[in-house]
Amino acid sequence: MVLSVEDRLSVHELVSLHGHLMDGGEFDRMDELFCVDVVYDVSAFGGGELRGYEAIGAAARALGDANPVGHHVTNICVSEDPDGTVRVRSKGIGIYADGRVGSVVYEDVVRREAGGWRIAYRKVVPRRTPLRP
């Protein structure tokens, strides 16, 4: 499958929507972001692999005030493997109420479903060490 301009735009919008829904606590809309069988890997943060979008919402609710007040997604790059797998890499910036800021890389696999593009797999990779030549 060759991704059309419309597909690429839809994938960009999908990844961008993540921050808006998470920051708004709109966990009842996770089906707009994720496949029902999504695997959300937050192992690097001690959270393991969350399976299903209900688990993602439950984990965010459990964090409560420890959640960032702002999830900002940037640098969205969409690619397609020879087998048709669509991958997305993006940068995430989390801003916390106490002023702390964190940076991550989102490594996603997205899939087109009846309702449109959805994230089937996401690995959240923290950026904790600056580049050192």
Give residue-wise pLDDT tens across range 107-128.
Answer: 999 999 999 999 999 999 999 8
pTM for this predicted structure: 0.92
Residue 13 has pLDDT above 90, yes or no: yes
Q: Tokens representing 30?
A: 């996770």
Please, which pLDDT band fits residue 130 given cuts at 50, 70 and 90? confident
3-state SS string over the chain?
Answer: CCCCHHHHHHHHHHHHHHHHHHHCCCHHHHHHCEEEEEEEECHHHCCCEEECHHHHHHHHHHHHHHCCCEEEEEEEEEEECCCCCEEEEEEEEEECCCCCEEEEEEEEEEEEECCEEEEEEEEEEEECCCCCC
Domain annotation for the chain: domains and CATH numbers: 5-127 (3.10.450.50)
Digit-coded pLDDT (tens) for 56-95: 999 999 988 888 999 999 999 999 999 999 999 999 999 9
